Amino acid sequence: MINKVKASLSEKVLLIFLILLIVVTFGSYFLLKDKCLFVKNVDPNKISFTNTENIAIMNVECGNVIIELDPITSPNSVQRFKTLIKNGSYDGSTFYRVIKNTLIQAGDIEYGNINDLNYTKIGTGKSGLGLLKSELSDEFQFKKGSIAFARKDDFDTEDSQFFITLKDIPIYQGEYTPLGKVIYGMDALEKIKSGNKSSYVLRPDYINYLKLLD
Amino acid sequence: MRILLILISIAFITAVKADEIYNLIKIPNLDIYKIETKNKIRYLNTNNDFRIGLEKNITCARTNSTNLNNKFLLIEKNLNIYSSNFLKKNNIKYLVMCENLFISNINTGGIPDTKKKTLIIDINFNPKYFERMIHHEIFHMIQNSNFKYFDEEKWSLLNKKEFKYAECSTCSDRLNLDLYKKTEGFLTEYSKSIPSEDMAEVFSFLMTDKALVEDKSNDDMILKNKINFIKSSLSKIDASFKF
């Protein structure tokens, strides 16, 4: 004869806890899989800008990023950046170099486009427009959201690659050519996929499009 | 577990910081010590031993914080003599502080790298010469940035005809840094090693004990000419520079 065993109160609590845990685990899996879940997308049409010719909109996986360019600090470099934007050169450009919570880098037009990614040469590509002279500023502060042209070890080697800082990096002041700053959408950039210790990110996130507001 | 997490966090933070600075000057294991300075020089501290150079022949060890804090006062005091404009003209922007600096197993006070605008300083260098050594190394950066004003052949002609410098600064035994009582054209034994070290010795003494050196030069025409050479060359770089 089998005696029916009645569950004690603590066993019931444990059972409820386990059920809740399973529900939360599966729920979280599906909810958190969407890395952009808590990122607020910025609609540039709902913002009034004072200086529209220097506003660029970068669309990435988690939404829009609004950039204000700074042609006063770096006139030639901003001009180059605008030219590349107008040519659509940055559309599909991957964030192949990402230092978590520090900076993200994109703009290798030759080897870093998502449609024609060359992992062996990424980071060495050219725009075909030639190198630029560095336009350094002792005034421009590299706060979180600063955007600047990347360069090789030497100055005057800027071309098309750029980086955006994800935190204040004061030591970069006077070292890199500033292009401007992110005025909206930093949280979308913070969701960009970072790599491990390799020199580039495997299957990187990329810029859907980058266009000027005007 | 908590300790393990803290240790992992520290390792991560250090790596990220190193990455930012390494990008700029290609020296690993550095932290910012002080970058808000009136002459815009950026002081960097070594948080772990490093080995650099083409053949990894330059080594230096991490700093002890008490030692660093004490030595920094001296370093900053001496660097503050130079204006930001002067430092910029001479490609001096980063000053890396570490302990026991060696190049090819030879202990050295400093290593200048004009291309990276960086001067590495050994904070454990002999205290007797420490402050003068800073100016000596700064001179090397000045010279490397302005070779045309510090022509070594012209400089060598200031010496007596029979005098010959060594082939290199470390291939002679002329290493003593004490000031000669009787100078005869050279302030120290090390001055006799190579022209650039001779110039650096004159410059460093002018920066640290100008009156004494000028007094010695009253009885030493060669030394007087060398002092005038250095002053004249520096005025071409920066007319406002004064010893």
User: Quick check: A102 and B32 CB within 8 A?
Assistant: no
Chain A hits for B24, Cβ within 8 Å: 171-172, 175
The yes/no answer to whether this complex scores an ipTM above 0.95 is: no
Establish if A2 belongs to a structural domain.
no
Amino acid at A77: S
pLDDT tens digits, one per residue of B172-228: 666 788 888 888 999 999 999 999 999 999 999 999 999 999 999 999 999 999 999
Rounded to an integer, what distance in angstroms lies between the CA atom of residue A194 and that of residue A201? 6
Q: Average the pLDDT over A81-99 and give the result.
A: 96
Min distance B23 CA to chain A CA atoms (Å): 8
Confidence band for B233, pLDDT divided at 50, 70 and 90: very high
Amino acid at A204: P
User: Is A20 in the same domain as A92?
Assistant: no
Chain B hits for A169, Cβ within 8 Å: 20
Min distance B82 CA to chain A CA atoms (Å): 18
Q: Nearest by CB to A171, which of B16, B26, B35?
A: B35
pLDDT for A195: 78
Q: Average the pLDDT over A36-63 and give the result.
A: 93
Range of the domain at A13: 8-37
User: Is A88 in the same domain as A165?
Assistant: yes
User: Quick check: A169 and B21 CB within 8 A?
Assistant: no
User: Is A82 in the same domain as A118?
Assistant: yes
- Three-state DSSP class for B45? strand
Question: How many whole angstroms from its chain centre is CA A116?
Answer: 19
Chain B hits for A176, Cβ within 8 Å: none
Count the Cβ atoms, other than its own, within 10 Å of residue A154. Answer: 9
pLDDT above 70 (res B14): no
Q: Does B17 touch chain A (CB under 8 A)?
A: no
Count the Cβ atoms, other than its own, within 10 Å of residue B166. Answer: 14
Q: Does B11 touch chain A (CB under 8 A)?
A: no
Q: Does A152 touch chain B (CB under 8 A)?
A: no
DSSP states of A15-38 as a string? HHHHHHHHHHHHHHHHHHT-TTTT
pLDDT above 90 (res B119): yes
Give the count of domains, chain A: 2
User: At A178, phi and psi to the nearest 5?
Assistant: -75, 145
Query: Per the structure block, which two tokens stand in for A46?
Result: 């709902």
Q: What is the DSSP letter of B230?
A: H
pLDDT above 80 (res B8): no
| pTM listed for this prediction | 0.81
Report whether A134 contacts A74 (CB < 8 A).
no
Confidence band for A10, pLDDT divided at 50, 70 and 90: confident
Establish if A192 belongs to a structural domain.
yes
Establish if A3 belongs to a structural domain.
no
pLDDT above 70 (res B67): yes
User: Is A75 in the same domain as A22?
Assistant: no
The number of C-alpha atoms within 13 Å of A14 and in the hemisphere containing its C-beta is 5
Q: Which helix (H) or strand (E) holds A10?
A: helix A9-32
Count the Cβ atoms, other than its own, within 10 Å of residue B168. Answer: 10
Establish if A183 belongs to a structural domain.
yes
Min distance B119 CA to chain A CA atoms (Å): 16
CATH number at residue A129: 2.40.100.10
pLDDT above 50 (res B4): no
Name the least confident of A30-39, A112-121, B210-219, B230-239: A30-39
User: Quick check: B20 and A170 CB within 8 A?
Assistant: no
Question: How many whole angstroms from its chain centre is CA A83?
Answer: 21
DSSP states of A107-175 as a string? --TTT-BGGG--TTTTT----SS--B-----SS----TTEEEE---SSSS-B-S-EEEESS--GGGTTT
- Three-state DSSP class for B118? strand
Confidence band for A23, pLDDT divided at 50, 70 and 90: confident
Establish if A1 belongs to a structural domain.
no
- Three-state DSSP class for B12? helix
User: Is A135 in the same domain as A52?
Assistant: yes
pLDDT for A8: 85
Q: Average the pLDDT over A179-187 and give the result.
A: 97
Confidence band for B13, pLDDT divided at 50, 70 and 90: very low
Q: Average the pLDDT over B120-135 and give the result.
A: 97
pLDDT for A196: 67
pLDDT tens digits, one per residue of B130-182: 999 999 999 999 999 999 999 999 999 999 999 999 877 666 666 788 888 88
User: Is A19 in the same domain as A62?
Assistant: no
pLDDT tens digits, one per residue of A149-162: 999 988 999 999 99
Confidence band for B9, pLDDT divided at 50, 70 and 90: very low
pLDDT for B2: 53
User: Is A16 in the same domain as A113?
Assistant: no
pLDDT for A9: 84
User: Is A33 in the same domain as A98?
Assistant: no
